[in-house]
Homo-oligomer: A and B are copies of this chain.
Amino acid sequence: MAEVRNKQVVLRDYVVGFPKESDMNTVEGRITLKVPEGSNDVLLKNLYLSCDPYMRVLMSKISHEGFGSYTPGSPLTGYGVSKVLESGHPDYKKDDLVWGITKWEEFSLVPATQIHFKIEHTDVPLSYYTGILGMPGMTAYAGFFELGSPKKGENVFVSAASGAVGQLVGQFAKLTGCYVVGSAGSKEKVDLLKNKFGFDGAFNYKEESDLNATMKRYFPEGIDIYFENVGGKTLDAVLLNMRLHGRIPVCGMISQYNLTQPEGVTNLANLIFKQIRMEGFTVGKFYHLYSKFLEFVLPHIREGKVLYVEDIAEGLENGPAALVGLYTGRNVGKQVVVVARE
């Protein structure tokens, strides 16, 4: 079988500081659209690729246990929705739609273990499996319900609240009967939080000069759950305003990933004073809850009770700009890159 073109986005070199479009190259590779004889791998046509904040961590040379680093000269890896072209593995067959870890390229040959789930429900947008029905959705669900242990009437604060995860945490909090306030980085995003996602309050953190005062304004009685996506100054202000027995699921610290010297958090003694549980997590250990999660969220999506905003970049060649835009907050909602629609 003949080789075909396989456009790829590769990392040029390890990144220091904020990533730039020029840290990545779009190159033309070649691939034979055939699973090698005797291989259990699966050949995928990539449809939607997911831009996720954690990817910045993999662009650094320092690798963290449980995370890795990207390899300069090789395509980025990340979550995506793909169509099976050919399968060497009995669990998958031609034309299955799947989501999991794939590469930033048109076609990928991946080990079957990288595929997370076969997609069974296609009455919702396929791109949702990079977001609300994929890793970010599962992250919001597990972080909020499993680690946050929310109770009706509790006060919830979400940072990066219009992002892929944050917009869901806020809506899940409202469904639970919580009071929820979110922070974001533009008027447009703040309006989304209040008018579309039903947050009780929202503010643009860039316009707040004293975040401690901001927290006191929105949470005069304190915060029970802080869903942490940003770290740094926001976390420091939150720590001063947590209630007794508060919970802080730590999902991300996007404000810190690009700093060569992270900001210092000074108010950690409040963990003791308020007996706070702060727990870093990645979604990996929660995937056994995925079918339970789908049962919960699919009806809400179909009834329009949970909404999801995506920011769609068309074409793999626009992937680097889309990815880089996450770290300056250019995206509004979940950032997706369309490689192909079917």
A57 proximal to B (CB < 8 A): yes
A261 within 8 A of B: yes
Whether A65 is near chain B, meaning CB under 8 Å from some CB there, is: yes
- Asked if B282 and A268 make an inter-chain contact with CB atoms under 8 angstroms apart, the answer reads no
Q: How far is the CA of A253 from the CA of B265 in the complex (A)?
A: 14
B262 touches A272 (CB 8 A): no
Instruction: Tell me which of A66, A67, A269, A275 has the highest count of chain B C-beta atoms within 10 A of its own C-beta.
Output: A269
Neighbouring B residues of A235 by C-beta, 8 Å: 268
Contact B269 A231 (CB under 8 A): yes
Q: Does A222 contact B (CB under 8 A)?
A: yes
A164 to chain B, nearest CB (A): 16
Cβ of A114 < 8 Å from any Cβ of B?
no
| CB of A271 closer than 8 Å to a CB of B | yes
Contact between chains at A262 and B266 (CB < 8 Å): yes
* CA distance in complex: A324, B248 (Å): 34
Give the residues in chain B near A263, CB-CB below 8 Å. 264, 266
Chain B residues within an 8 Å CB radius of A261: 266
Contacts of A253 in B (CB 8 A): 268-269, 272
A268 surroundings in chain B (CB, below 8 A): 231, 235, 250, 253, 256, 262, 265
A274 to chain B, nearest CB (A): 6
A residues 246-270 near B (Cβ < 8 Å) are: 250-253, 256-257, 261-270
Whether the Cβ atoms of A279 and B278 lie closer than 8 Å is yes
Task: Evaluate contact between B265 and A64: CB separation under 8 angstroms.
Answer: no
A273 and B231 contacting across the interface, CB-CB below 8 Å: no
Q: A68 CA to B272 CA in the complex, in Å? A: 13
Q: A275–B243 contact, CB under 8 A?
A: no
Q: Which residues of B contact A281 (CB under 8 A)?
A: 272, 275
Partner of A273, one of B66, B272, B278, B279: B66
Q: Which residues of B contact A275 (CB under 8 A)?
A: 66, 279-282, 285
List chain A positions with a Cβ less than 8 A from chain B: 57, 64-67, 222, 231, 235, 243-244, 250-253, 256-257, 261-282, 285
Known pairs A231-B268, A275-B279 / 14 extra A-B pairs, C-beta < 8 Å: A64-B273, A64-B274, A65-B244, A66-B274, A66-B275, A67-B273, A250-B268, A253-B269, A253-B272, A261-B266, A263-B266, A271-B279, A277-B277, A278-B279
